[in-house]
Structure 1
Amino acid sequence: KNWRLIKDGMIDDSDVFAISINERDRNHIVASACSGIYESLNGGEKWRKIQGIPSTSRRTRDILQHPSRQGTVYAGTTEGFWMSVDGGKTWRMTTARNLEVNSIAVHPDAPDRVFIGTNNNGVMISNDGGRTFAPANQSFTSRFAYTVTPDVGMPGRLYATTHNTATSGGNLFYSKDGGQTWTAARGAGLDQVAPFAVMQDRVDPTRLLLGTNRGIFRSLDRGESWTLLTAPKKAPVRKAPARRMTAAQRRAAEAAAAKAAAEAKVVPALEDSVRVLIPTEDDKNGIIAGTDKGLYRTYDIAKGWEKLELGEGVNANIFAVHASPLVPGTIWVGTATSGVLVTRDDGKTWEKVNATPQGIPVVSLASDPKRPNYVYAGTTQTFYLSRDGGRTWIRRGGNLPLGKYTAILINPENTDEIFLGSAHEIGGGLYYSSDAGQQWTRIDSMDMVVPSRRVWAMAFDPADPNRIYAASHSSGIYRIDRLQDTAAEKSGAKTAAATATNQ
């Protein structure tokens, strides 16, 4: 009913984040504020600042006096977990500095068991009183899973890209047991980049590429370690002294200049954001890359990337690319503001198709594996389908709401079956069609307990056609197992059951 301000000894305008009261002495209080850590020995009437934690870490989000160990104090900061065993006189950091700690708890029956809640690494546990910590989530230390990609030849092996929700960057994880446990990939700076796309070489599956906001990383050991691909350093050019040329020399110089102009369209390495990586689907084992600066293609990374010009006035920020092996030379592109484009002559010419409104990002594209004229496009607002190779389009289908349709998955055995994933903040979820997109049923019904309904990507398990992996916005990777009830499948209701592989 009555409150009064107690701040004697605190710096004015200090934002106080957390308070910890000593269970053995209620007059002993420790508080964390934006200006540092404070201690009171008389119930908060008088405060003094505790020294010891470096100023860069003084954004202490949680503070806790150990409930059974006198003098032990824990501090969770924006730069690591700190502990003191002498009442705050001295401190030491026991985690990596780049770990952001939001909350701290000690097990009431096990005083050495300490839990911390972190920004991008989930819950971590210490069994030695806070001196060391380990993840409590099968090493999948991220909530926001952006993509999930099954290995083409090793059952149970998965690759997942993640994004940090509170800070920049992300990471890549791989699993050898169908998502039960995960390992963070190794690579210089890999945990500081935002990864977008994983592509596995079809000829040599030990080779993988990773598209990120800093270009492309390459792995030669099936995704366990990665190296950023950079352009080779140019050799210094020595200018030859000017001299009179013969006619033959002049022709040779002109030919060399023409060749140099042609090669100018080839870039040695992609250093911009690479959001999409797909095979060329022309039996040449080439790669197409969609970046924020345009569309590129290569048949030999060592020789560089050819830029495919999309035409004047086209937004070159690419969000989606699709090619079908049934129609070599046809490439579909989804852009940030210029809608859907298609080439039917292997990139020589492009046309805008009347699929989506201008200015709306196109974030997913797919075509029927058996009927290539059936084309599908997902945008940040809705979903479109074509039955005539993109000449005419239909918006949505029955019972499909507005949404951010980032994932389109077509059953290769029965191509009338389509799964859609929406990452919309309000109406996100999973949808199923048994008639090639004409009618839809929601899979994750509201009576299902699903921690996160926002889905960014989906993929079939190559070893089990009734299993789907889905990358969610805030709950890691889901494993979705389809029910085998024939009646349920015919009705379109409850076509799948979802379980999260990491909590």
Structure 2
Amino acid sequence: MRKWQSFALRVLVSATLCALVTPLAISARWASLGPEGGDARAFAYDPKNPDRIYMGTMAGKLFLSTDGGANWTRLAHLGTEDNYVLDNIAIDPNNTKIIYVAAWGVGNVGGDFFRSKDGGKSWETIDALHGKSLRALALANTDSKTIVVGALDGVYRSTDGGDSWKQITPEHHNEMKNFESVAIDPKNPDIIFAGTWHLPWKTTDGGATWKNIKSGVIDDSDVFSIIIDQNNPEIMYISACSGIYKSENAGNLFHKIQGMPFTARRTHVLEMDPTNSEVVYAGTTEGLWKTTDGGKSFHLLTSPSVVVNDIYLDPRNTNRLLLATDRGGVLESENAGLSFSASNRGFAHRQVASLAIDSNDSSTIYVGIINDKELGGVFVSHDSGLHWNQMSSGLGGRDVFVLRQTPEGSLLAGTNRGIFASGKDASGWRPMNVMIKETSITRRVPRTTAKGKKAVTQVVSTKVERSEFATRVNDFAFGGSDVWYAAAANGLFTSNNHGQSWKGGPVAGQSEFVAVRTQQSMVAAATHTGVVVSVDGGAHWYAAKVPYFITGIHDLAIDQENTLWIATRMGVFRSMDSGDNWEHVLNGLPSTNVDSIAWDTEGRRLLVSSTATTTVYESSDGGRRWHSTGHLGWEVRSVTAARGRLFVTTAYDGVVAPSDSINSSDTAMSTVGGPGGR
């Protein structure tokens, strides 16, 4: 487990505690379906009940397991945004209902210190540390009210359980900044070690004075982790970007441990076996490593593709360990690391960008994942989300932004680099990335007319140039006469041969297109700032008269009356005359950011989702009345319907759906707004 800490000289008394941070208000009628896995960052376990394990994530979410990591539930969302990284969690061993979490913001923007006194049921933030990028956290063994945190601007210390704080490093010191790791001597709380993005430091007087303990350490070494032998504090290890170092005299001299490959030197975390100090695990950017001889030699336990962020060793049985990993979630070993298996039941922390439901079997669901590389791509469930399997062979680790089922039943994936197709058997993905550019070759030929002879231009042949369609694809739609449409980062493209090749239309090469829809002979496609429309199946196009003040278009829908609907950062707008005039649809809908809008053909209803309100809305009467799910507690990205059931994709938490499998306006939604179109 990560043992990070930090302190400060300037007294910061928290006269008041910031507003309470409450657990997620998740609707009891909705449940997370998966796919399981994602980014796991940190562990902390209850020393009185090691089966109770807390886990932090990249998006401010805190998970809890009460059975040793076999099952996980989402406990709280810490912070008001999704940019907090929960890398450090600590539990008071004398009162295990007291939990501390140190957070930092992505992009080094802000951070917070969170405290719970009731086992995670409710949370508060401490004013004194608000806004500080907190990278490390530790409690003193001899006095659990002594807490140290490391921040980008220094080290801070509290001796009263977090109520008040001192900065114990000099302010504006050129070297004593950007602290990434801390540790406290297990027998003397005044001895503190702190690692920066440059070198390690030590104080023996509670922060009054500091010494740079760089002897034996390569200069300019980011110190990620510090661990101390709990039985013999003279022995300690630090991990840095330049390797792993061991000291046998409390940091006065380090020597670099050999046997770790150069590429795996970014060791995020070190963990010592509490029953045998010769055994140390190293979680790196290229797998989990282990020494059984006090660092004389290391060997690799996992695939080098596994990025390890934290390690849990069961204190009752140190052969059992858990790994918090990037993209893969939690891995479990029962044999001291000889083999691992996933342990992610209930932990779904993936970014789902798209969802498609099989038109012939509504229990089959496909989802497209972004930012998970080889562990992402596409997942499929054949039992309405109870179980998932990865089906990403051939995608090459690409992000999948859109999935659509073709009229013939195959599946199209729009990725960050082109288009891929999978047959009905889902045997693998093949590229559909041939771009065609046709250029007419002409010549001047004589022609006799009533007025005599003159030269005219005649097309004699067509030059066909082929290139790779390697841009980001955001959406697909299928029109009449077997015309397929692709909304891409550099225009709107069409295919007349089932995706075997693509060519640019009259709007190719313009702004990024984010959505395209068809309804009978109408085709509409949206950019971030406008909409283009065809009412004759794509033969001719015109620009809809979207008012200039409407910006940030995210999505587009066409209902059965050929009414155009757009989801924007200002809410929902509609046009009932093919784009000539637009009105702002309120009547219970938010006037802030709306992420998606869809026409449910089967249910004959409009579906709207908003991350800003974490809510799904539906209307069955053309937008006169809207029904709402209320706050779901998830950051809703989009909503899809099948056989009367809603499936919601989220920004970080996979797919969620009504837990009772029944979703109608009288059971899952409440009415918002009254009669009228606005």
TM-score between both structures, scaled by the size of structure 1? 0.79
- Matched residue, 1:100: 307
- Matched residue, 2:649: 471
State the superposition RMSD in angstroms: 3.4
- Matched residue, 1:324: 519
Letter in 1 for 2:557: A
* 8 A Cα contact 2:630 2:670, kept in partner: no
SS in 1 for 2:595: strand
**Distance across 2 between alignment mates of 1:182 and 1:293:** 33
- Matched residue, 1:391: 580
**Distance across 2 between alignment mates of 1:221 and 1:487:** 36
SS in 1 for 2:263: helix
Of 440, 463, 472, the match for 1:273: 472
Q: Greater RCO between the two (CA within 8 Å, min separation 6)?
A: 2
Of 639, 647, 662, the match for 1:458: 639
- Matched residue, 1:297: 494
* 8 A Cα contact 2:434 2:502, kept in partner: no
Letter in 2 for 1:173: F
Answering whether residue 551 of structure 2 is matched by residue 372 of structure 1, we say: no
Count, aligned residues:
448
Which one is further off, 49-58 or 430-439?
430-439
- Matched residue, 2:506: 309
Answering whether residue 539 of structure 2 is matched by residue 360 of structure 1, we say: no
Letter in 1 for 2:516: V
**Distance across 1 between alignment mates of 2:388 and 2:235:** 43
**Distance across 2 between alignment mates of 1:413 and 1:219:** 25
SS in 1 for 2:278: coil
Which structure: greater strand fraction?
2
Same amino acid, percent of matched pairs: 26
**Distance across 1 between alignment mates of 2:547 and 2:258:** 60
CA shift at 1:276, angstroms? 1.1
**Distance across 1 between alignment mates of 2:550 and 2:472:** 20
- Matched residue, 1:208: 411
- Matched residue, 1:343: 534
In structure 2, do the counterparts of structure 1 residues 477 and 491 end up closer, same or farther at CA, with 3 Å as the change threshold? Answer: closer
Letter in 1 for 2:377: N
Letter in 2 for 1:71: E
**Distance across 2 between alignment mates of 1:198 and 1:226:** 12
In structure 2, do the counterparts of structure 1 residues 307 and 132 end up closer, same or farther at CA, with 3 Å as the change threshold? Answer: same
**Distance across 1 between alignment mates of 2:318 and 2:309:** 20
Letter in 2 for 1:174: V
Q: How does 1:145-294 map to 2 (within 5 A)?
A: 145-164=352-371, 170-188=376-394, 190-203=395-408, 205=409, 207-231=410-434, 255-257=459-461, 259-260=462-463, 270-280=469-479, 282=480, 284-294=481-491
- Matched residue, 2:11: none
CA shift at 1:43, angstroms? 3.1
Unaligned runs of 5+ residues in structure 2 are: 1-156, 158-205, 437-446, 448-454, 673-678
Deviations 1:259-297 (A, max 9, x none): 33xx56xx57633222211211x2x34321111222122
* 8 A Cα contact 1:376 1:385, kept in partner: yes
Deviations 1:168-222 (A, max 9, x none): 994111112211221111423x24212111122322x2x2221112211121244
CA shift at 1:441, angstroms? 5.7
Q: How does 1:46-61 map to 2 (within 5 A)?
A: 46-61=253-268
Letter in 1 for 2:474: R
Letter in 1 for 2:652: S
CA shift at 1:149, angstroms? 1.0
Deviations 1:105-158 (A, max 9, x none): 112233222111122222222222223322223699861111111111123211
CA shift at 1:96, angstroms? 3.0
Letter in 1 for 2:399: A
In structure 2, do the counterparts of structure 1 residues 306 and 35 end up closer, same or farther at CA, with 3 Å as the change threshold? Answer: closer
TM-score between both structures, scaled by the size of structure 2? 0.60
- Matched residue, 2:99: none
- Matched residue, 2:671: 492
SS in 2 for 1:62: strand
* 8 A Cα contact 1:208 1:218, kept in partner: yes
CA shift at 1:321, angstroms? 0.4
CA shift at 1:421, angstroms? 1.8
Letter in 1 for 2:398: V
Q: How does 1:29-68 map to 2 (within 5 A)?
A: 29-68=236-275
CA shift at 1:364, angstroms? 0.8
Unaligned runs of 5+ residues in structure 1 are: 234-246, 494-503
* 8 A Cα contact 2:484 2:499, kept in partner: no
**Distance across 1 between alignment mates of 2:518 and 2:665:** 33
- Matched residue, 1:498: none
* 8 A Cα contact 2:627 2:669, kept in partner: no
In structure 2, do the counterparts of structure 1 residues 109 and 317 end up closer, same or farther at CA, with 3 Å as the change threshold? Answer: same
In structure 2, do the counterparts of structure 1 residues 331 and 58 end up closer, same or farther at CA, with 3 Å as the change threshold? Answer: same
In structure 2, do the counterparts of structure 1 residues 347 and 286 end up closer, same or farther at CA, with 3 Å as the change threshold? Answer: closer
Letter in 2 for 1:298: S
